[in-house]
Amino acid sequence: MLPAYSTLATAVADSVLTVTLNRPEARNALNTQMGRDLGDLWTRLIADAGEIRVVVLTGAGSAFCAGGDLKERDGMTDLDWQRQHEIFERAFWSEMECPIPIIAAVNGHAFGGGLEFVLAADFAYGARGAKFALTEVSLGIMPGGGGTQNLPRAVGERRAKELILSAKPFTAEEAAAWGVLNRVCEGGELMKEAMETARAIATNAPLSVRQAKRSIHYGLQSDIATGLRFEIEAYNRLVPTEDRREGVRAFNEKRKPVYRGR
């Protein structure tokens, strides 16, 4: 059971956890408490996801996330800024380490840290009309939530340099063409389409989904030979599971499998 968070709204249905960034009055800007809440949420899912098999991350109101809350940061000392940013770093890193799939459903603008949340997810759908940007260099800082690492991996080095160094916003259609988004949806269809994909993932064997995610994530950080060996290690861990036996039985009995994550 997840606790009640002051900056997040959570709901579970059909083994899918919907997480809504819930500061609409501030365009869901990332403040210290949201950083703490997200870090706690992802850490709990890493430790024990229970029946949760997929996460859909979205925003309340018209924006997904406007980035760091600069009103809260106004007047911070250098040390206070760095201490706060460490809270944010842990939130981003634990999102990327979460073993279950995370789908970002980008309902509106995602700037700065908001875009970094999208990039830290496994993949993303976005509403038509949403805009994206890493604006940090226009504010005297730089992306510090994985943006300089995750954006090049999504769009390529040269495109990432253009976007980060210019701080220029780009459209949902451009985000899809360049690899930030998997799909552009009409606004009213965004959550429906994201949830359809989430439920499709949730019906598959959860241990298989996690091992496949892990193999992709870590394999891409190594050479192909090491990646192939990692893949087989991940594969072999599934052979003795109850779910593997259930999947084969269900196929031969021509019925829908019932996976229990064991």
65-74 pLDDT per residue, tens: 999 999 999 9
Name the active-site residue from 25, 72, 116, 157: 116
Contact 45, 79 (CB under 8 A): no
pLDDT at 187 over 90: no
For the chain, which domains are there? Answer: 8-202 (3.90.226.10), 206-252 (1.10.12.10)
Q: What is the pLDDT of residue 153?
A: 96
Contact 261, 243 (CB under 8 A): yes
Tokens of 217: 């994530």
pLDDT at 216 over 90: yes
pLDDT at 141 over 90: yes
Name the active-site residue from 25, 89, 97, 136: 136
Q: Report the pLDDT averaged over residues 41-57.
A: 97
Contact 105, 60 (CB under 8 A): no
- What's the chain's average pLDDT? 96
Nearest to 23 by CA among 35, 11, 41, 39: 35
Region at 126 (left for phi over 0; alpha for psi -120 to 50; beta for the rest): beta
pLDDT interval class at 2 (50, 70, 90): very high
Q: What is the pLDDT of residue 245?
A: 95
According to DSSP, the residues that pair with 194 across neighbouring strands are: none
Q: What is the pLDDT of residue 208?
A: 97
Q: What is the pLDDT of residue 182?
A: 98
pLDDT at 211 over 90: yes
Percentage of the chain exceeding pLDDT 70: 100
Q: Report the pLDDT averaged over residues 126-151.
A: 97
pLDDT interval class at 1 (50, 70, 90): confident
Nearest to 146 by CA among 190, 201, 88, 196: 88
Torsion of CA 44, 50, 51, 55, to 10 degrees: 20
Q: Please give the radius of gyration of the chain, using alpha carbons only, rounded to the nearest integer.
A: 19
- Is 116 annotated in the active site? yes
pLDDT at 135 over 90: yes
Q: Report the pLDDT averaged over residues 226-235.
A: 95
13's CB contacts (< 8 A; 6+ apart) are none
Q: Report the pLDDT averaged over residues 25-53.
A: 97
- Is 86 annotated in the active site? no
